[in-house]
Amino acid sequence: MEAFLFWTCGALMVFGGVMMVLQRSAVVAALWLVFAFIAAAGVFAVLSAPFLAIMQVLVYAGAIMVLFLFVIMMLQGPVMEGERRRMALPLWPGAAIPPLAVLVLVGGWLGRNSAGSFPAAPPAGFGSPGHVAAAMLGRYLLAFELISIVLLVAIIGALSLGHRERNQTWS
């Protein structure tokens, strides 16, 4: 059952990702990404991380992707429909070689080195909100606080970028 779920979700996630890359329309690409994220939530579930799975759907697929869509809508213009020029054909191999090399090498490495299967069953309550919260607000408190500062800075940054002087109009 787990294996089935893994293969399904994994395949859907890769499929979603590839479709996103290939789509010319930004809106459609965003939708494919949402698709991939939901599949990723399934992968989390396979990994006994239910809390992460839920957060992946809520925060990632929900909040962040909505932000993307919102921006895409805001910048309607024809540019958003697609890219005017395709990339020159000779460049494709050059662009594709490094990722493919990475993939081949990583695959090869994984084939040669196996860490073995997972421990039979995770500890009781593993991946539950309580479990994660205990770690996050305990050992990793400082990191937690720091990330809050990162968010704060991001908020201030986004505000100041979006802020316009009163007299200035859309040019």
The interface with other proteins within residues 57-116 (CB under 8 A) comprises 59-60, 63-64, 67-68, 71-72, 74-75, 77, 79-80, 83-85, 87, 94-103, 105-110, 113-116
Return the exposure string of 59-90: e unless at least 16 CB atoms fall within 10 Å of the residue's CB, then b: ebbeeebeeebeeeeeeeeeeeeeeeeeeeee
Give the shortest CB-90-to-other proteins separation in angstroms.
14
Question: Binding pattern to other proteins, positions 9-38, x when CB under 8 A?
Answer: -x--xx--xx-xx-x--x--xx--x--xx-
Question: Binding pattern to other proteins, positions 113-152, x when CB under 8 A?
Answer: xxxxxxx--xx--xx---xx-xxx--xx-xxx--x--xx-
Residues 151 and 156: their CA atoms lie apart, in Å, by 9
Q: Is the dihedral of CA 70, 14, 8, 41 positive or negative?
A: negative
- Pick from 89, 93, 166, 170: which binds other proteins (CB under 8 A)? 170
Q: How many CB atoms lie within 10 A of CB 54?
A: 14
Token pair recorded at residue 108: 């090869």
Residues 71 and 6: their CA atoms lie apart, in Å, by 33
Give the shortest CB-135-to-other proteins separation in angstroms.
4
- Pick from 89, 145, 161, 166: which binds other proteins (CB under 8 A)? 161
C-beta closer to other proteins: residue 90 or 119: 119
Give the shortest CB-132-to-other proteins separation in angstroms.
5
C-beta closer to other proteins: residue 85 or 166: 85
Give the shortest CB-134-to-other proteins separation in angstroms.
7
Give the shortest CB-37-to-other proteins separation in angstroms.
7
For 82, phi and psi rounded to 5 degrees?
175, 175
Residues 107 and 96: their CA atoms lie apart, in Å, by 16
Residues 119 and 60: their CA atoms lie apart, in Å, by 29
